[in-house]
Amino acid sequence: MPEPPSVLVVGSINVDLVVHAERLPARGETVAGGRLERTGGGKGANQAVAAARAGAAVALVGAVGDDDLGEDALAALRAERVDVAAVRRIPGVATGVALIVVDAAGDNQIAVASGANHELAAGDVRAPHPPACVVAGFELLDEPVVAAARIAAEGGCPLVVNPAPARSLPPQLLGLRPILTPNRHEAAELSGQEDPEAAALVLRQRTGAPVVVTLGEQGALVADESGVSRVPAPSVTVVDTTGAGDAFNGALATGLARGCGLRAAVTAAVTAAADSVTRAGARG
């Protein structure tokens, strides 16, 4: 059998505390009667799991605290065949936690306490094995994201950067040709353009690389040297949209690591994201 493609993920590791409620609370409102669930989370960890499930050999670089939540998070990742040897355990710092409310329609609200994720430094970022694709996300500080980008540049492999939550793109990142994968809201915030196609074109001009804007149930939009095209999503029954973007990015990285063209990799990623929303939890 062929060797699985190697994917390096540099990203966040959280524990998700999820309340399933009938509806999302309004400002200042308490919605009672929900059901609590505790699961593994963090965009980086979720992307690593998605890539591993898609058939990649995945190494994750991140940070957790020396608390019970950190140990549980690492155990869950090991169970998914994710290499966590490069994950840093930081004494006296809490593991990242996400507080999530999911309503009956599958929509969510999320607040994150970053904890150890914001202690990860550029010097902590290394590749245990030469990667065929690198993924980095904005739940970390700029320095480790740029360090991940440099690993991709030095290895001559694709770099996927998920700018979520959106913030200004680090100047050092722009010249390293990241494939940005914002959702429509992040794309608007990064570009100043509300229309996803216009936003993608602005971002592509800024990076000189393809841009993929995820559009939820409408699939994804791809802007590259061939122009702009859309990849539709299959129709599914939505249970929980938490982690759909992470499933997309993990599957996209696996496709690119296999040597697939961008549109083929995006098509597989859209399918993976659609499948993910049919189950509860970020790693359902």
* pLDDT tens digit sequence for 48-67: 999 999 999 999 999 999 99
pTM: 0.93
* pLDDT tens digit sequence for 114-167: 999 999 999 999 999 999 999 999 999 999 999 999 999 999 999 999 999 999
- The hierarchical CATH code for the domain 6-276 is 3.40.1190.20
* Gap between the Cα atoms of 30 and 26, Å rounded: 8
Q: Which of 154, 148, 153, 204 is nearest to 179 (CA)?
A: 204
Quote the distance between the C-alpha of residue 37 and its chain's center.
21
Mean per-residue pLDDT for 251-256? 98
For residue 246, indicate whether it is catalytic.
Answer: yes
Residue 69 φ/ψ, nearest 5 degrees: -60, -40
Q: Which of 94, 129, 118, 95 is nearest to 7 (CA)?
A: 129
Q: Which of 151, 129, 150, 140 is nearest to 83 (CA)?
A: 129
pLDDT exceeds 90 at position 240: no
**Res 1: pLDDT:** 63
Beta strands in the chain (DSSP E): 6-10, 14-20, 35-41, 57-65, 82-83, 87-90, 96-102, 108-113, 133-137, 159-162, 179-180, 211-214, 220-224, 227-231
* Gap between the Cα atoms of 213 and 182, Å rounded: 5
Q: Of the listed 68, 224, 246, 275, which one is catalytic?
A: 246
| Per-residue 3-state assignment (H helix, E strand, C coil) for 129-170 | CCCCEEEEECCCCHHHHHHHHHHHHHHCCCEEEECCCCCCCC
